[in-house]
């Protein structure tokens, strides 16, 4: 009985883990806002992302200081004045693919998905829902999405002097190239 229980337990873990979770440590999140004066654009290539294909759940975590800009001064302002990255060093997305059934993870191809979840920036959490694609490739899964967020939703205050330099919203691009996790 005991042996059976142990067997079942381990089988369960192996089943739940093996080939079900995918991750990346070099995910890309970038944002962009076009303005007449100058474009505001930053890239982060060190986003950690995990995708569980059995449940469709996904989590991304980005360090704010890993967003890099063309202009060093803009990067300093981003960290010090807008994001306050000393106080809020991380940004997190926890979400779920809502139409998981339409993705066949065993067949290579590109599938349209809808992702819903909670985006936390500066300790402010908002629900977001966005369209994206899941691309099943040999040896991994790529996830892509583009959506807009409004800085003011995350209590990012933009002073009046430069407010007209910003679009109302920022275009965010997410590109994840996941590979399977062997253990864990």
Using an 8 Å Cβ cutoff, are 33 and 171 in contact?
yes
Structure tokens given for 55: 């449940």
Q: Which of 14, 18, 35, 80 binds other proteins (CB under 8 A)?
A: 80
Is 52 an interacting residue with respect to other proteins (CB under 8 A)? yes
* H or E element, residue 161: helix 160-163
Half-sphere exposure of 18 (CA within 13 A, CB side): 6
Is 98 an interacting residue with respect to other proteins (CB under 8 A)? no
Of 73 and 107, the one with the shorter C-beta distance to other proteins is 73
Is 89 an interacting residue with respect to other proteins (CB under 8 A)? yes
* DSSP annotation of 1: -
Of 107 and 184, the one with the shorter C-beta distance to other proteins is 184
Dihedral of CA 145/149/151/155: which sign? Answer: negative
Q: Which of 35, 99, 162, 168 binds other proteins (CB under 8 A)?
A: 162
Is 28 an interacting residue with respect to other proteins (CB under 8 A)? yes
Q: Which of 81, 126, 129, 179 binds other proteins (CB under 8 A)?
A: 81
Cα of first residue to Cα of last residue in the chain, in angstroms, is: 27
Of 94 and 177, the one with the shorter C-beta distance to other proteins is 94
Of 15 and 109, the one with the shorter C-beta distance to other proteins is 15
Q: Which of 40, 46, 141, 154 binds other proteins (CB under 8 A)?
A: 46
Please state, in angstroms and rounded to a whole number, the distance separating the CA atoms of residues 84 and 33.
19
Structure tokens given for 5: 């229980």
Of 76 and 112, the one with the shorter C-beta distance to other proteins is 76
Over the Cα atoms of the chain, what is R_g?
Answer: 19
Q: Find where tokens 């004066």 sit.
A: 37
Residues that bind other proteins (CB under 8 A): 1, 4-5, 8-9, 12-13, 16, 21, 23, 25, 28, 30, 32, 41, 43, 46, 48-50, 52, 55, 57-61, 63, 65-66, 68-73, 75-77, 79-81, 84, 86-87, 89-90, 94, 159, 161-162, 173, 175, 181, 184
């Amino acid at each position: 009985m005991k042996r059976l229980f142990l067997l079942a337990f381990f089988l369960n873990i192996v089943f739940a883990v093996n080939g079900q979770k995918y991750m990346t440590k070099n995910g890309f999140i970038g944002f962009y806002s076009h303005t007449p004066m100058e474009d505001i654009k930053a890239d982060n290539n060190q986003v950690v992302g995990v995708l569980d294909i059995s449940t469709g759940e996904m989590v991304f975590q980005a360090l704010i200081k890993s967003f890099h800009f063309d202009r060093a001064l803009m990067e300093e302002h981003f960290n010090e004045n807008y994001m306050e990255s000393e106080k809020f060093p991380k940004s997190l997305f926890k979400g779920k693919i809502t139409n998981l059934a339409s993705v066949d993870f065993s067949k290579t191809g590109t599938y349209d998905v809808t992702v819903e979840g909670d985006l936390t920036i500066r300790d402010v959490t908002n629900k977001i829902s966005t369209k994206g694609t899941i691309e099943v490739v040999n040896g991994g899964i790529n996830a892509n999405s583009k959506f807009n967020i409004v800085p003011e939703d995350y209590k990012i205050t933009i002073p009046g002097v430069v407010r007209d330099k910003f679009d109302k919203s920022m275009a965010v691009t997410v590109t994840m190239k996941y590979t399977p996790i062997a253990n864990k």
